A and B are shown apart, each in its own frame.
Chain A
Amino acid sequence: MATVQVSEAEKVYILHGIRDDLRVDGRGCEDYRHTEIETDVVSNTDGSAKVTLGHTAVLVGIKADLGKPKPMLPKEGYLEFFVDCSANATPEFEGRGGEELGTELSNTLYKVFNNKHSVDLKSLCISPGEHCWVLYVDVLLLQCDGNLYDAISIAIKAALFSTKIPKVHISADEEGAKEIELSDDPYDCMRLNVENVPCIVTLCKVGHRHVVDATLQEKACSVASLIISVTQKGTVTCMRKVGGGSLDPESIFEMTEAGKRVGKALHAPLMDLLQQEERLGTKRQKVGFLG
């Protein structure tokens, strides 16, 4: 992961700030940085979103393809995740340098999103045991400035929201062989229900307190962090401790409570924003990277 060098004096300054609920950039401990979200930025995907969180920039593209349901879950489609830590983010990722981080991130994403409680996987099933939609969720890391999990999860939720899957028609002949035909009407498509899609909140233990949305500098002062995925109702669906240091059970409990609170509060404005954007319809001026 991209790292920054922080001197001892800086560390002390940061620690003291956090203790007083005043972070280096002026935020409180449970505040996010300035966040920008735009959906539908890559036109040849079925759904996409670009999210910037401070200097962290993430682009998510979703492509739907036909596949066969997993034998254990014949009535569900599934999601595939791939995180590309590109060299654009930092030269350290050049060649195979980003692979380790990419795998770590994508494994977490599988756990958080690829289950029927988070995403309505049943709606992705076309014919049980034979055909289903597979959503390839590809995450592209463009710039790292800490708090990747949160940025990625927001981007994924936004991208899933904007995903349009073409409607299909199944025709079967006498022998029962099924043939899938795609609807030729570009407006005839299926949307996903993203109500239960969780967002990830990362809490960094800095000194005795914890902060959300840590910058790289703050991260450098932290021993360990906890990632929690929270749905809009405030249900925790997944929790994970990451980082080298150790946490005591009390602070985990404390951090979970904080995470739930922050996470729950995160969903409403996000959905608001997405729906607002949706309402603009085709008149929306796309900004992408040009803005």
Chain B
Amino acid sequence: MLKSKTFVKKTRSGGVMKVVREHYLRDDIWCGSEVCSECKQESTVLQRDACMESNLCSYPHYLLPDTNVVLHQIDVLEDPVIRNVIILQTVLQEVRHRSAPVYKRLKDIIHEKEKHFYTFTNEHHRETFIEREPGESANDRNDRAIRVAAKWYSQHLKASDSDRLKVVLLTNDRGNKEKAEEKALLVYKFEEYIKSLIANTELVDHLALSNDDKNEISSSKVLFPEHLPLSRIQTGIKSGSFLQGTFRASRDNYLEASVFVQGEEEDSTEVLIQGLQNLNRAVHQDVVAVQLLPRNEWVAPSSVVLQDEGKAKDDNAEEEEEEKALRVSAAEAARKPTGKVVGIIKRNWRPFCGMLNLSQIKESTRHLFTPADRRVPRIRIETRQAASLAAQRIMVAIDGWPKHSRYPNGHFVRSLGSAGDKDTEQEVLLLEHDVPHQAFSQAVLSFLPKMPWAITPEDMAKRQDLRHLTVCSVDPPGCTDIDDALHCRELDNGNLEVGVHIADVSHFIRPGNALDKEAASRGTTVYLCGKRIDMVPELLSSNLCSLRSNVERLAFSCIWEMNHEAEILKTRFTKSVINSKASLTYAEAQMRIDDTSKNDDITKSLRGLNKLAKILKRQRIEKGALTLSSLEVRFHMDSETHDPIDLQTKELMETNSMVEEFMLLANISVAQKTFDEFSECALLRKHPAPPPSNYDILLKAGKSKHVEIHTDSAKALADSLDVATVDGFPYFNTLLRILATRCMMQAVYFCSGMDNDFHHYGLASPIYTHFTSPIRRYADIIVHRLLAVAIGADSTYPDLMDKHKQSALCNNLNYRHKMSQYAQRASVAFHTQLFFKSRGILNEDGFVLFVRKNAIIVLIPKFGLEGTVFFDSKDKAKANPNLVFDEEGPTLAVEQHTFHIFDKVKVTISLDDSNIQHQKIRMALIDPVIPGVSVPAPDVEPQAKKPKLDR
């Protein structure tokens, strides 16, 4: 049967277009129920005994939620208790249209077999399709479609089964409910139903607050201006009276935010927003519309730190005062474009981690939740288990923010565990840095090779057999995901053959399947202290793809023929099979090279590699590659408790650099090859040269010790860093290199068709990519695929050749990469805190790394730890010391003493755990002694009084 769907839409050029689409109705769409005898379905999803014990429904029943229930209560629907649910196509489509994240979650639920969620294609079913009636809005039509489908189901089931099995429509819309009741449908409000469930009381907490409840909570007083409707916003943006941008709340001041407005090309602006009214319920990361205030109302960003302490701020007096404090007269020049939020274009709410502040009223079920991310406002939630949640890290989702409520309303999602607990904190860290870390789903795992796995003759046919070569791998100790292995041998013509063999991950991960999509979304493996969040399932990362010794593994090899001066004579790429002869650590490899008594093949191979690597490195440095320095910390973990017992900066050996040299070489060779082959869609990595102003601090630092640094080119910088030494200050050079690292730009992935600056500044290479770590980086998988196509070893697929899609992929990879680095740093910081917690107070030597207006930043080389020593105190009772900051130096004079960059100081280190959500390492000055500022060196005793300089 045929129906056509007609709608009118506006074209981009402002014209009007009538679109007609066909809409076929079918009678071969089955109901998906086990009990049904009418439908000729092959498999069923909905169970015969759909038992969810409820006070309201004492019979087996299927649930049929409407769109808003799915959108708002997805947290509850995800609960394993909720099973046998019919998701109508109408609902699915509406959800897809309105919220991509909820849609994805809903799809995940539908795929889970145990949940018994069935999608009923009601819009194409002959008996459940309805046409929109005159005067009916699109929403009303959809509601009616849902009711019609519910009716159909209940009659359909009645026909095949005795009256037992029923369908329950769940809706929170009063009108819809009434109409459904008129049609004699079983219908309940979602809350009503969930509350009726026997023995599932904790589900109630997951409930999102519905509209009705909100009215009760808040006073009728309107606190915020109304948000403008989307249509008004769009016209406003078009006419230029509003600006669209991403809302970024200030980390330090809850009354301040900025809106980043992306302009044409690089012409982007930031609009400052100050005050609750102007912030108007926008939450960090929302896309908002702002209106600029008249120029005379513009303000300067305040440097005040303000945290929303709000016990129960019903009196606005205090708040107003705080707002007033913001408006301290600012110099005309410092004023920035200031505006107010007039509407929300897109909410970017996600579940937030944080902790509960219990309400003072003991019996209250409403509590405030403080998110770990200071940029997110506190959220009001309703829970009955507040007491047990008090000391836990929990997740809360925002449901809405009515205009008469001081805080947004939300609901409890789940508990992460008790605060301060290592696992809990790790979870928080991963969630807050948006690191996907759930166990791999069944769909993903289904694409793994079946075990036992062996190399088949078909595999061999396309590959070069390199099993006879003396290949070995060199990695850090304890490494189980070995991406790369090397070999070097002398050829008959006297030249050397060097091979870099990389795990052939793209052989296992085929484009477009769930496994591939998951890996692409994760982007990178994240290494935390004592934990690794894999990008690909463990079977691949630690077994099939890991180039372990004495097993046959598939590899992608890059083989060069070189002469003894390390000049490349020939390069070739091939898919191969290798059998690594040894998995060595850097130290083991170093020992073999140094041990003159050893002369086996592996050692000879290593020596050859080492010799060539040295030449390569020299050449690279001559070309202007930078050797930069950052202190990497390594924890010695207690093998049982996994607590850090010692902390040590990583030591670099010659072999580290040996492996690195060949990886760089392979990456460059591959970059060149893929770019030659696919000039439009090669995935490359670039490192832009930093703007000259970035080097200011480095130049000043050098000048302070009478050392000249040249920054005209990478080469000049490298050379001047090499000669920058100060007698009697051996650590000076390292410090300079650390500073130089901070001046650099972030290296990024990009698609060659979308950019024309390919230069890698740090490596001084005109072209670069990532090829050597496909187990832990998705970019490498793409590069593998491109290279495989280039050498005819594998086939392409459309997305690989689509530069826009690839560019979007690069953006995700860059984002994941950045977040994984942040997560890594946060993990190190957390473990450092754990370490200092166990150590109590320590006194250490350090160097001043930066000088700020009111503080110095001190680096402790022993731990690679950086901390801030504040000189001003917010404690009003205590007088601030006299501070004079000179930007030129930069120097900071505190009373009589003047701090310069790189000054040696002595500090005491301790852990400040006064705020359980934000534990911090505190540093206080011991030496030089400044009366009233420095503290006496405490004994290295755990229980010494904690200094609280900056409270």
Contact = CB atoms under 8 A, between A and B. Distances in A.
User: Are A and B genuine complex partners?
Assistant: yes
Interface string B215-259: 000000000000000011011101101000000000000000000
15 contacts: A44-B20, A46-B18, A63-B18, A65-B15, A66-B15, A171-B235, A173-B235, A175-B241, A179-B234, A179-B235, A179-B238, A184-B138, A185-B132, A187-B132, A187-B134
A184 B138 CA distance: 8
A48 to B, nearest CB: 11
Contact of B241 (A64, A66, A173): A173
B235 A64 contact: no
Contacts of B7: 184, 186
Given A182-B9, A187-B135, A44 B239 contact: no
B16 interface: yes
Contacts of B15: 65-66
Interface string B115-148: 0000000000000000011111110000000000
B14 interface: yes
Given A175-B241, A179-B235, A187-B135, 19 more contacts: A43-B4, A44-B20, A45-B18, A66-B15, A171-B231, A171-B232, A171-B235, A173-B236, A173-B239, A175-B239, A177-B235, A177-B239, A179-B238, A182-B8, A182-B9, A182-B10, A186-B7, A187-B133, A187-B134
Interface in A173-212: 173-175, 177, 179, 181-182, 184-187
B19 interface: yes
A129 interface: no
B6 A173 contact: no
A186 B5 CA distance: 10
Contacts of A234: none
A45 B20 CA distance: 9
Contacts of B239: 173, 175, 177
Interface string B5-48: 01111100011101110000000000000000000000000000
Nearest to B14: A66
A177 B241 CA distance: 11
B145 to A, nearest CB: 16
Contacts of A175: 239, 241
Nearest to A187: B134
Task: Bin the interface of chain B by size.
Answer: 20 to 34
Interface in A61-103: 63-66
Task: Kindly list the 6 A-B residue pairs having the minimum CB-CB distance in the complex, ordered from nearest.
Answer: A187-B134, A179-B235, A44-B20, A177-B239, A43-B20, A166-B8
Contacts of A166: 8, 16
Nearest to B131: A282
Contacts of A181: 231
A177 B240 CA distance: 11
A64 B134 CA distance: 21
A175 B136 CA distance: 33
A66 B20 CA distance: 19
A186 B131 CA distance: 11
Contacts of A182: 8-10, 16
Contacts of A173: 232, 235-236, 239, 241
B16 A43 contact: no
Q: Chain B: interface secondary structure?
A: mixed
A186 B7 CA distance: 6
B16 A66 contact: yes
Contact of B16 (A65, A174, A184, A187): A65
Contacts of B8: 166, 182, 186
A65 to B, nearest CB: 5
Given A174-B241, A177-B235, A186 B6 contact: yes
Contacts of B19: 44
A86 B396 CA distance: 67
Nearest to A44: B20
Contacts of B10: 182
A177 B237 CA distance: 11
A65 B133 CA distance: 25
A195 to B, nearest CB: 24
Contacts of B4: 43
Nearest to A175: B239
Interface in A150-183: 166, 171, 173-175, 177, 179, 181-182
Given A185-B135, A186-B8, A187-B135, A44 B18 contact: yes
A66 B4 CA distance: 25
Contacts of B9: 182
A171 to B, nearest CB: 6
Contacts of B135: 185, 187
B232 A64 contact: no
Nearest to A169: B231
Interface string B832-865: 0000000000000000000000000000000000
A186 B135 CA distance: 9
Interface in B755-772: none
A172 to B, nearest CB: 8
A99 B10 CA distance: 31
Contacts of A64: 16
A187 B20 CA distance: 15
B467 to A, nearest CB: 65
Contacts of B6: 43, 186
Contacts of A45: 18
A115 to B, nearest CB: 24
A166 to B, nearest CB: 5
| Max count, chain B CB within 10 A of own CB: residue among A46, A173, A175, A185 | A185
Contacts of B138: 184
Contacts of A179: 231, 234-235, 238
A44 B136 CA distance: 22
A186 B241 contact: no
Nearest to A168: B16
Contacts of B241: 173-175
A46 B4 CA distance: 15
Interface in B495-520: none
Contacts of A184: 7, 137-138
Nearest to A186: B6
A182 B138 CA distance: 14
Nearest to A67: B15
Nearest to A189: B8
Contacts of A66: 14-16
Nearest to B236: A173
Nearest to A166: B8
A286 to B, nearest CB: 11
Interface string B294-313: 00000000000000000000
Contacts of A171: 231-232, 235
Contacts of A185: 132, 134-137
A187 B15 CA distance: 20
Contacts of B18: 44-46, 63
B16 A186 contact: no
A41 B16 CA distance: 20
Interface in A22-47: 43-46
Interface string B522-541: 00000000000000000000
B670 to A, nearest CB: 51
Contacts of B137: 184-185
Contacts of A177: 235, 238-239
Interface string B137-164: 1100000000000000000000000000
Nearest to A184: B138
A77 B19 CA distance: 23
Contacts of B134: 185, 187
A166 B15 CA distance: 12
A174 B241 CA distance: 9
A94 to B, nearest CB: 30
A233 B148 CA distance: 51
A45 to B, nearest CB: 7
A175 B242 CA distance: 12
B934 to A, nearest CB: 60
B144 to A, nearest CB: 14
B212 to A, nearest CB: 28
A290 B20 CA distance: 20
